[in-house]
Amino acid sequence: MRYSLIILFLLIFHTVSGQQGYDKYFTDKVLRLDYMLAGDSKSTTVYPVGMKEEAYFGGSRTKLIDPFGYGNLKYEVFDATENKLIYSRGFCTLYQEWQSTAEAQTIQRSFYEVATMPFPRDKIRFVLSMRKRNGLFEKIFETDIDPSDYFIRKEKPFDVNVTRILYSGDPSGKVDLAFIAEGYTATEMNKFRDDVRKMTKKLFNETPFSSYPDKFNIYAVEAVSDESGTDFPGERQYVNTVLNSSFYTFNTDRYLTTQDIETVNDYAGTVPHDNIIVLINSSRYGGGGVYNYYSGTTTDHPLSETVFIHEFGHGFAGLADEYYTSDVAYNDFYPADVEPWEPNITTLVDFGSKWKKNIAVSTPVPTPAESKYSAVTGLFEGAGYSAKGIYRSEQDCRMKSNSAKGFCAACRQAIENMILFYAD
Rounded Cα distance, 83 and 338, in Å:
31
Beta bridge partners of 239: none
Considering the domain boundaries, does residue 337 fall inside one? no
pLDDT in tens, 89-136: 999 999 999 999 999 999 999 999 999 999 999 999 999 999 999 999
The type of residue at 424 is D
Strands 175-182 and 152-153: unpaired
Query: Angle 304-317/409-422 helices, nearest 10 degrees?
Result: 60
**Phi/psi of residue 295, nearest 5 degrees:** -120, 145
**Phi/psi of residue 70, nearest 5 degrees:** -85, 160
Q: How far is CA 337 from CA 35, 92, 347, in A?
A: 32, 21, 7
CB contact at 8 A, 220 and 192: yes
CB contact at 8 A, 303 and 284: no
Considering the domain boundaries, does residue 12 fall inside one? no
Rounded Cα distance, 284 and 304, in Å:
9
- Together in a domain, 61 and 165: no
Q: How far is CA 368 from CA 364, 371, 387, 395, in A?
A: 8, 9, 14, 9
- Together in a domain, 147 and 61: yes
CB contact at 8 A, 402 and 306: yes
Considering the domain boundaries, does residue 283 fall inside one? yes
Domain enclosing residue 397, as ranges: 156-329+366-424
Interior/surface letters 350-360, b for 16+ CB within 10 angstroms, e for the rest: ebeebbeeebe
- Together in a domain, 127 and 255: no
**Among residues 153, 171, 191, which one ends one of the domains?**
153
- Together in a domain, 271 and 184: yes
Long-range own/partner contacts, residues 71-74 (CB < 8 A, 24 or more apart): 71/131, 71/291, 71/292, 71/318, 71/341, 72/96, 72/130, 72/131, 72/341, 73/128, 73/129, 73/130, 73/131, 74/128, 74/129, 74/131, 74/137
Considering the domain boundaries, does residue 144 fall inside one? yes
Considering the domain boundaries, does residue 108 fall inside one? yes
- CATH code, domain carrying 52: 2.60.40.3250
- Together in a domain, 33 and 168: no
pTM score over 0.75: yes
pLDDT-flagged residues of the chain (< 70): 1-20, 326-331
Q: Look at residue 14 in the predicted model and tell me its pLDDT.
A: 43
Rounded Cα distance, 402 and 404, in Å:
6
- Together in a domain, 165 and 105: no
Report cis status (omega within 30 of 0) of the bond before 208. Answer: yes
Considering the domain boundaries, does residue 69 fall inside one? yes
Q: Look at residue 424 in the predicted model and tell me its pLDDT.
A: 80
| Short-list 172, 185, 138, CA closest to 26 | 172
pLDDT in tens, 259-314: 999 999 999 999 999 999 999 999 999 999 999 999 999 999 999 999 999 999 99
Task: Give 152's contacts (C-beta < 8 A, 6+ positions apart).
Answer: 31, 51, 52, 53
Considering the domain boundaries, does residue 345 fall inside one? no
Beta bridge partners of 47: 36
- Together in a domain, 376 and 254: yes
Number of Cβ atoms within 10 Å of the Cβ of 29: 16
**Among residues 100, 123, 153, which one ends one of the domains?**
153
Number of Cβ atoms within 10 Å of the Cβ of 334: 23
Query: Angle 189-203/304-317 helices, nearest 10 degrees?
Result: 70
Considering the domain boundaries, does residue 17 fall inside one? no
- Together in a domain, 103 and 206: no
- CATH code, domain carrying 231: 3.40.390.10
